[in-house]
Amino acid sequence: MATFKLTDPHGGKLVDRTGHKPDASAPKSAITLTEWQQCDFEMIGCGAMSPLEGFMGEADYHGVCDNMTLKSGCVWPIPITLAVDDATAAKVGVGDRVALNDDQGRLLGYLTIKEKYRQDKRKQASKAFGTEDAAHPGVKNVMNSGDTCLAGPIDVVTLRHNPMFTAHRLTPKQTRVEFERRGWKTIVAFQTRNPIHRAHEYLTKCAQEIVDGLLIHPLMGATKDGDIAPEVRMKCYETLIGKYYHPEHTMLAVMPAAMRYAGPKECVLHAILRQNYGCSHFIVGRDHAGVGSYYGTYAAQETMDSLPPGSLKIAPLKFENTSWSKLAGGMVSEKTFPMIEGDRVSLSGTKVREMLLGGQRPPAEFTRPEIADILIEAMKQP
């Protein structure tokens, strides 16, 4: 009988920083993490950011910016740092053990400081986001962060910085156990931070045809102002999956990562994270993790293709832009059906929002009516 084998974690070993390690020394001081840093803390602590065991040191920081690799040689696209202001940095030194709190003063865990170094914000913005424009939400976050990075391993006391969706808030270890319980050896992950419309439903079901199971894995960490509230999104996912997906081949879990809107670089990060969760395949569609017009339509796919062979153990499934064709009577892409003027049911985000605010359902070819009704009701709330 063949041994059950899921995709190896990035770097070969699944990190686990939970189970606080006793230490006789009292923490030097306490640091309050930003919302973004709280998300990174949870992602590192549960192993989703394997092989990271803590916040990046200077060599890893510049290696990621310059070459998209950690000093170990592992591909890594975006710096994961703990940047603090000068006043906080002045209170601690290398070798100190500091407490890490959330914005409510709750203890999340500890950091043992191995390095202190200056953050090169302009370089990081240019390399990670491809722009230094402060209007970019990711760039804005970096530019508003502290100037000094504290690096070192973390130890977790409280893993979940946010208690929402605990039933679906599975760690990589837990998703791997569940995949094995279901008998899934090949799993495709779908990244989203929005409700799933008909085009997304189509490509996830296309992907399901070639794997054992689909993990719908919405990002539920920090997002930008104006994004749909997580409670509303979760209701949309549960409703859609319950009615329109096969329960034996579909699974819903949330990912507590922060959204960086880094386009191609974030696509690589999202693939690495899903590899750590045990997935073998990852859907990459149009303008993955993009915002505004900063990135090309298929730049994320091109970046995934440019990675050195074997650098990731997860395979991208690349999809063209899809929409409903009136003439074909179904979902099509530029590869499967010719573009004919007036044929496609395609709406801008602005138009969809206007319709929902007016209590009007978008066409059923664009979104399921049940999802439209949830969004219409949510927009009535003050």
30 three-class SS: strand
Active site includes 193? yes
CA distance 178 to 251: 9
**CA dist 228 → 11, 132, 232, 348 (Å):** 34, 26, 7, 16
To 5 degrees, how large is the angle CA 225–CA 228–CA 334?
105
Which pTM does this prediction carry? 0.96
**What domains lie within the chain, and their CATH numbers?**
30-156 (3.10.400.10), 166-380 (3.40.50.620)
Rg of the chain (C-alpha set): 21
Along the chain (382 residues), what's the average pLDDT of each consecutive run of 10 residues?
A: 80 93 80 96 97 98 98 97 97 96 94 97 98 97 97 94 87 98 98 94 97 97 87 96 98 96 98 98 96 96 97 97 96 95 89 92 96 94 74
- Containing H/E element for 151? strand 148-156
What is the three-class DSSP state of 32?
A: strand
- Let me know: does 136 contact 65? Beta carbons within 8 Å: no
> Which pLDDT score, from 0 to 100, does residue 1 have?
39
- What's the distance, CA 55 to chain centroid? 17
Look up residue 219 and give its DSSP letter.
Answer: B
End-to-end CA distance of the chain: give it in Å, rounded: 58
- 194 catalytic? Reply is yes
Local structure of residue 364 (DSSP, 8 states): T
Query: The tokens of 199 are what?
Result: 């085009």
CA diameter of the chain: 72
Catalytic residue among 97, 160, 182, 194: 194
Q: Which of 193, 260, 344, 368 is catalytic?
A: 193
User: How far apart (Å, rounded) are the C-alpha atoms in residues 224 and 261?
Assistant: 9
From the number of C-beta atoms within 10 Å of its C-beta (0-12, 13-18, 19+), residue 360 rates as exposed
Q: In terms of DSSP H, where are the helices of 46-120?
A: 58-67, 86-90
